[in-house]
Amino acid sequence: MKKSVISKLLSELEQLVQVELEFGVEFWLARDLQTVLGYLRWENFRKVIGDAMTACESSGNKVSDQFREVTKLISHGKGGQREIQDFMLTRYACYLIAQNGDPAKDEIAFCQTYFALQTRRQELIELRIAEVERLQARKKLTESEKLLSSLIFEKLEDDRSFGIIRSKGDQALFGGKSTQDMKTRLGVPDNRPLADFLPTITIKAKDFANEITTFSISRDGLDTEHSISHEHVKNNTDVRGLLGERNIVPENLPPSEDLKKVQRRLNSEEKKLPRKGGS
């Protein structure tokens, strides 16, 4: 395919993209895409859209989330107007349409690659955001553990108490399974923290229980290992119950990628980004 054709098609697709105001979702109008893809008749292009809808449904996606039917008025004759069918298409919908078009057409071949890369780019962005959020949750958990640890030491003057209390909290959160039980279950090395292999939801659950315990110690003047331990177990049990109402069972969730590896990958990606000012 000639570079001039690629440049032309790229420019046309970039100019046609619109943004839905309420949710900020990018979309293309089918009538506009029809022209770019080289279909002269709407009836022929509508068949391709139908095939794409079938593929969408077969892949387990809700068709109406990807293909939103709309109507618009066009002028005809001497000042007359009539309604015609159109569709608001997501990036994924456009990809499916291209996949169901004639690959012998340059326009179709280009759009297959263009929308495949665009869809993959969004997936990568979403994955990276999820990884950053998990790292942030882990950092927040570390901070809440430090605060709780220092408060327990202030009350009990015993370095061992925090570890004992935290372990009892874990056992309450994980339905009777100890921290070591969970490390074995998830394949966590003995010398690594369990939290580094937990999914974001569980990390946040542990952090939330810590926050409540810290608050309660200060508010209620808890100053014995028994009272603080009882409070922490109760809070983890309550958080577990809240998750259970949403059919989330902490001990049954699969392990997530080692956060050390996630951090190294993100650091490596950061180094590859261009520096400000071209430096």
Binned average pLDDT, 10 residues per bin, the chain of 279 residues: 77 83 81 90 93 93 92 72 88 90 83 79 78 94 97 94 97 97 96 97 98 97 96 98 97 96 86 51
Q: Tell whether 87 and 193 lie within a shared domain.
A: no
Asked, for residue 44, whether it belongs to a domain, the answer is: yes
- pLDDT, position 77: 63
Asked if 251 and 151 sit in the same domain, the reply is: yes
Residue 108 is assigned to a structural domain of this protein: no
Tokens representing 248?
């989330």
Q: Is residue 89 part of a domain?
A: yes
Q: Are 58 and 153 in the same domain?
A: no
What pLDDT, on a 0 to 100 scale, did the predictor assign at position 276? Answer: 43
Pair 55, 134 in one domain: no
User: Do 199 and 240 sit in the same domain of this protein?
Assistant: yes
Does residue 150 sit in the same domain as residue 86?
no
pLDDT at 157: 92
- Per-residue pLDDT at 116: 79
Are 134 and 263 part of one and the same domain? yes
Cβ atoms of 166 and 153 within 8 Å: the answer is no
- Are 97 and 143 in the same domain? no
> Quick check: 17 and 28 in contact, CB under 8 A?
yes
Residues 139 and 244 in one domain: yes
Quote the tokens at residue 261: 């590896």
pTM above the 0.85 mark?
no
- Long-range contacts, stretch 163-168, CB < 8 angstroms, 24+ apart: 164/225, 164/229, 165/225, 165/228, 165/229, 165/232, 166/232, 168/229, 168/232, 168/233
Q: Kindly state whether residue 274 falls inside one of the protein's structural domains.
A: no
The label of the residue with tokens 């110690």 reads 217
Domain-located, residue 109: no
Task: Provide φ and ψ at 72, rounded to 5°.
Answer: -140, 155
Number of compact structural domains in the chain: 2
| Spatial distance between the Cα atoms of 121 and 109, rounded to a whole number of angstroms | 19
Query: 86 with 138, same domain?
Result: no
Whole domain around residue 252: which residue ranges? 130-267
Q: Is residue 175 part of a domain?
A: yes
Has residue 106 been placed in a domain?
no
Q: Are 54 and 149 in a shared domain? A: no
For 100, phi then psi, to 5°, come to: -100, 5
Closest residue by Cα to residue 193 from 123, 259, 101, 148: 259
208 domain residue, yes or no: yes
Same-domain pairing of 156 and 217: yes
